[in-house]
Amino acid sequence: MAQQKKMVEAITSMDEDFAKWYTDVCKKAELVEYTSVKGCMVIRPYGYAIWENIQSILDKMFKETGHENVCMPMFIPESLLQKEADHVEGFAPECAWVTYGGSEKLEERLCVRPTSETLFCEHFKNIVHSHRDLPKLYNQWVSVVRWEKTTRPFLRSREFLWQEGHTLHATPEEAIEETERMLNVYTTFCHDYLAMPVIQGQKTDSDKFAGAERTYCIEALMHDGKALQAATSHYFGNGFAKAFDIQFANKDNKLEYPYQTSWGSTTRLIGAIIMTHGDDNGLVLPPAVAPIQAMVIPIAQHKEGVLEKAGEITERLNKVCRARMDDSDNSPGWKFAEYEMKGVPVRVEIGPKDIEKNQCVIVTRHNREKTFVSLDNLEDAVIEKLKEVHDGIYQSALENRERRTYAALTMDEITKRLEENGDGFIKAMWCGDEACEDKVKEITGVGSRCIPLEQENLSDVCVCCGKPAKHMVYWGKAY
């Protein structure tokens, strides 16, 4: 019990200091560790296993929608990065630059990719000549580098893991459809696998990806009321194609510029999982991406037959989910705390009395509810409980978001809402003018998160200037 207490006490509570709670969880759940490489982190086995699960689900969804994986170089020559004006302006300030190879100074410096549009464009120019070569539906799983000043594990680091999709199409309609399709893939993934409700929307012009015509995003609300962009999907028009001179012969054998998209999601998703579902006992993992879905803990394991039975049920469970047994010397209490910290969705306890009664105890992580279950239908019960955890944490996250979403008709109302209720989403009308967007941020502290695809008409006028409103916007503070 001493150790159990030690472990639980070691986390700062969410209400006391959310930022500290977050880094405590990252560290205590053994997700990451710091290194001497400033702003970069080690993703430890438990953290990486979550990413592997995310990867394997998303990769399957990408392949089912016709995409193929490729791998581009990690370096971009400076001249290549400069080909699209908006793009270089957006990314150059945060590039890491390689200037030496061995002891020789390079003739042209290379940036470590912050994103790979330019490389994909160069490649598309090489391989696309005819309408028969289209569409190209590519994706890659790599890491990218952005030289950030302030960093936090998963949320903002100088190097992070991600996937970037890059596609090329004959018509704008097809490219827009692709942009929307991938936004929907991300949305389904967040809902069905991460148990994370998200709002689909479009970024305002000031917040678009550097070089994009339109940027779509999904926005989630964290436990502390701050928003987190969980994924983005960009429509480029043919701006990049023109800058890189990518052309294809259409069916009439005339040259045309193709239309392009890109879309991405990153290890940030792990940060989003932590801040959406976690609690003061640590991590709470959505079952679909949990490295261990059911942890079997033998009670009084020195007693005859206990370890054997626990091993037997672990083996049975392993056929229907990712199950493990902890038969270490640590006390059951210590183990309970350990796997609560690590967010294992379902705990299965089994001791001598349970064995006598042909039962075990199932405890669900998110609400700590105990259920006695007959060993006869253990598998079904655990599968059922995993579904309960998924649904339960999805509901809690949705309730948190709804509780923290306020409509406001005036600037004063925005300020008042935030003062009274703390951070959250503010829904308010906007005229479309960047000056108003800036002013809202300046006065109230909340920026535009997105123009949601599902619009509501709260009023006819802009919350800031009173002129006719064009859109309802979600405003908030963001990670």
Contacts with a copy of itself by CB under 8 A lie at 33-37, 40-45, 48-49, 51-52, 68-77, 80, 92-103, 109-110, 112, 119, 122-123, 126-127, 138, 142-143, 145, 147, 158-159, 161
- Short-list 341, 401, 32, 373, CA closest to 195: 401
Q: Which of 100/356 has CB closer to a copy of itself? A: 100
State the nearest-atom distance from the C-beta of 326 to a copy of itself, in Å: 14
Q: Which of 60/368 has CB closer to a copy of itself? A: 60
Please give the Cα distance from 70 to 209 (Å, whole number): 22
Q: Which of 109/191 has CB closer to a copy of itself? A: 109
Q: Is the separation of the CB atoms in 133 and 125 below 8 Å?
A: no
Buried b (16+ CB within 10 A) or exposed e, 46-64: bbbbbbebbbebbeebbee
Q: Which of 250/410 has CB closer to a copy of itself? A: 250
Please give the Cα distance from 151 to 163 (Å, whole number): 20
Q: Which of 143/415 has CB closer to a copy of itself? A: 143
Sign of CA dihedral 8, 14, 15, 19: positive
Q: Which of 120/339 has CB closer to a copy of itself? A: 120
Contacts of 313 (CB under 8 A, 6+ apart): 296, 348, 350, 360, 375, 378
**Where is 145: in which H helix or E strand?**
strand 136-145
State the nearest-atom distance from the C-beta of 292 to a copy of itself, in Å: 12
State the nearest-atom distance from the C-beta of 71 to a copy of itself, in Å: 4
State the nearest-atom distance from the C-beta of 313 to a copy of itself, in Å: 22
State the nearest-atom distance from the C-beta of 112 to a copy of itself, in Å: 7
Q: Which of 112/190 has CB closer to a copy of itself? A: 112
- Short-list 343, 47, 84, 312, CA closest to 195: 343
- Helical axes 434-444 vs 411-421, angle rounded to 10°: 40
Question: Phi, psi at residue 297, to the nearest 5°?
Answer: -120, 110
State the nearest-atom distance from the C-beta of 67 to a copy of itself, in Å: 9
Q: How many Cβ atoms from other residues are within 10 Å of residue 441's Cβ? A: 15
State the nearest-atom distance from the C-beta of 140 to a copy of itself, in Å: 8
Please give the Cα distance from 216 to 199 (Å, whole number): 11
State the nearest-atom distance from the C-beta of 192 to a copy of itself, in Å: 24
Q: Which of 138/336 has CB closer to a copy of itself? A: 138
Find the length of the chain.
Answer: 479
State the nearest-atom distance from the C-beta of 163 to a copy of itself, in Å: 13
Q: Which of 93/466 has CB closer to a copy of itself? A: 93
Q: Is the separation of the CB atoms in 63 and 376 below 8 Å?
A: no
Q: What is the DSSP string of 365-420?
A: TTT--EEEEEGGGHHHHHHHHHHHHHHHHHHHHHHHHHHTEEE-SSHHHHHHHHHH
Which tokens sit at 149?
A: 């000043």
